[in-house]
Structure 1
Amino acid sequence: MARYAALLRGVNVGTARLAMADLRRLVADLGHEDVKTYLQSGNVVFTSPPTKAATLAEGIERRLADELGLRVPVLVRDGGELAAIVDASPYAARQDDPTRVLVAFLSAAPGAARRKELTVPAGEHLEYAITGREIHLHFPDGGYGRTKFTNAYLEKKLGVVATTRNWKSVLALRDLTGG
């Protein structure tokens, strides 16, 4: 058995409203065990036999659409991947405020040409590092709330789905998956 975290894009921050009790039930109904949610923003952790992340994500996406009419992208990482993401952060040790260090989770690693096109919007001060299917973000002068370097911006520039979590959430998800 393996521990996974499913990250839903845009839940409870826009028009896609989802009770975490419903999310836990849906994931459990798919046959996953020890299902727990973290916060109210579409983070669910569960145990399942080793399975491809894309297969797990598609199952959750389909169930959300079929039962609740919600069409939201889902990205899945296992405990080992989350531990590696935490270990790879180039910014965590440099910043005490977890709202200034974030990780954007991507549906796929962006190609080299798309990576070259990614730039910080004019007038913004932030650092980023792309590592596989994640982008480590550092906002030394403030948090994520006022940036144009959003999920939508990343999706447009990189051609992949993105969902972002602050450092506190990334650490919690790593811990909840045993990574």
Structure 2
Amino acid sequence: MRVHLLRAVNVGGARLPMAELRALATNLGAGDVSTYIASGNLMCTPPGGSPEDWAAFDRALERAVEQRFGFFREVVSRSPTDLRDALAAHPFEVLEPKFSHVYFLLQAPDPEAVRAFEDTDWGGDEVRVVGRDLHIRYADGAAGSRITPARVKKLLGHHGTGRNVATVRRLMELSGG
């Protein structure tokens, strides 16, 4: 079982019904397909059992979404164990779960990029990169933050997508972690 996280669906005109996302995953050969809330959280057993197979499934899902809906959305996947480890590694006290996020990156960024990113003034938001996960504690929420997907990709070199810690915990539970 893997958790596949799609960036920025059902916001800003990028409408992706979860029933159709489940159908796309099934058509790509996945089993045990389910979704959680309408924000691009897909749980399934992708075909194949290797990291290369999982990455190929993620790229195929990106292409299928683009072909079917006309917009490209990145997919980042993790195992239930990866989600549990990310929650355990969260370096900030969770005062308000909606302000504490894990931003899952496609790959671990270069150490120099991490240092520069962590040294950036994020206007009260706190950041820490642990492996291939960016941990964030927003001062006032994600909406007004300087931490945007474009800046994350530019500064850390990889795209990703974030979920608050409550959603990460629920995805871990639903996926068997």
Compute the TM-score of the two structures, normalised by the length of structure 2.
0.89
How many residues align? The count is 173
Give the 5 Å matches for 1:40-55. Answer: 40-48=38-46, 49-52=48-51, 53-55=54-56
- 1:30 aligns with 28
In structure 1, the partner of 2:125 is 126
The Cα of 1:85 is off from its aligned counterpart by 0.9
Structure 1 residues without counterparts, runs of 5 or longer: none
How big is the alpha-carbon RMSD for the aligned residues of Structure 1 and Structure 2?
Answer: 1.6
Deviation at 1:157, TM superposition (A): 0.9
Structure 1 counterpart of 2:70: 69
Q: Which sections of structure 2, spanning at least 5 residues, go unmatched? A: none
Tell me the secondary structure at the aligned position of residue 72 of structure 2.
Answer: coil
CA distance in 2, matches of 1:90, 1:115: 15
> How far apart, in 1, do the equivalents of 2:18 and 2:82 lie?
24
> 1:109 matched to which residue of 2?
108
Q: In 1, Cα distance between the equivalents of 2:163 and 2:149? A: 10
Q: How far apart are the structure 2 equivalents of 1:44 and 1:12?
A: 14
Give the deviation of 1:43 after TM superposition: 0.9
Deviations 1:117-151 (A, max 9, x none): 214445x1122211111011112x32222111122
The answer on whether the counterparts of 2:28 and 2:57 sit within 8 Å (CA) in structure 1 is: no
Structure 1 residue 156: Cα displacement: 1.5
Structure 2 match to 1:136: 135
- Alpha-carbon distance, 1:65 to partner: 2.3
Displacement of 1:160? 0.8
**How far 1:88 moved relative to its partner?**
1.2
Residues 10 and 16, structure 2, Cα contact 8 Å, conserved in 1: yes
Aligned to 1:6: 4
Query: What's the CA shift for 1:44?
Result: 0.6
Query: What residue number does 1:21 align with?
Result: 19
